[in-house]
Amino acid sequence: MTHVEATFVRDESHWLLKLSPDEWIRAGLSDLDRAKAAYDANNPRAGLAGAKRAAGMALNGALIVEPDERWGRSYVDHIMALAREPAAPERVREACRELTGASAPSAAKLVTLRTSSQEQRILEAARDVIAHAYAVVKRHEGQP
């Protein structure tokens, strides 16, 4: 892994550099709020998608300061790559596996049983990934 220069240069035409690392973290936190609201509104499909997106958006911030082509471009790619990253803390890998292993209810099923504990695990997993991304970003602040 190579590290990016400490000075962030915005590039509106680049998918990753259109936001700063801190802005990506804030975007992830906003998506997490929307995911929780979706679960609260009894919309588990939107809740799960929002939690995955929240984690992935925050990871964009980490990807700026620690570039790694193995992470791919999409937020799902980021989460899947981090789930397999041996250098990542085990709790973060577990959180990524929780997010990637969760599936939204199918329209083909007549009844889908959900529990608030399942939803809380998904939201907590997203929080863990966002916290990891935040720590990575902050670790690189002020470095030449």
Per-residue pLDDT for 139 more than 70? Answer: yes
pTM, entire model:
0.87
Residue 1 within any structural domain of the chain: no
Task: Flag whether 10 is in a domain.
Answer: no
Q: Has residue 95 been placed in a domain?
A: yes
- The verdict on residue 5 lying in a domain is no
- 50 sits in which H/E element: helix 44-65
CATH number for the domain spanning 100: value is 1.20.120.330
**100 within some domain:** yes
* Residue 14 lies inside a defined structural domain of this protein: no
Expressed as residue numbers, the domain containing 126 is 21-139
Domain count, the chain: 1
Please give the full DSSP string across 53-100, using - where no structure is assigned.
Answer: HHHHHHHHHHHHHS--GGG-SSHHHHHHHHHT-TTS-HHHHHHHHHHH
Q: Identify whether 62 is part of a domain.
A: yes
pLDDT digits (tens, 9 = 90+) for 17-43: 999 999 999 999 999 999 999 999 999
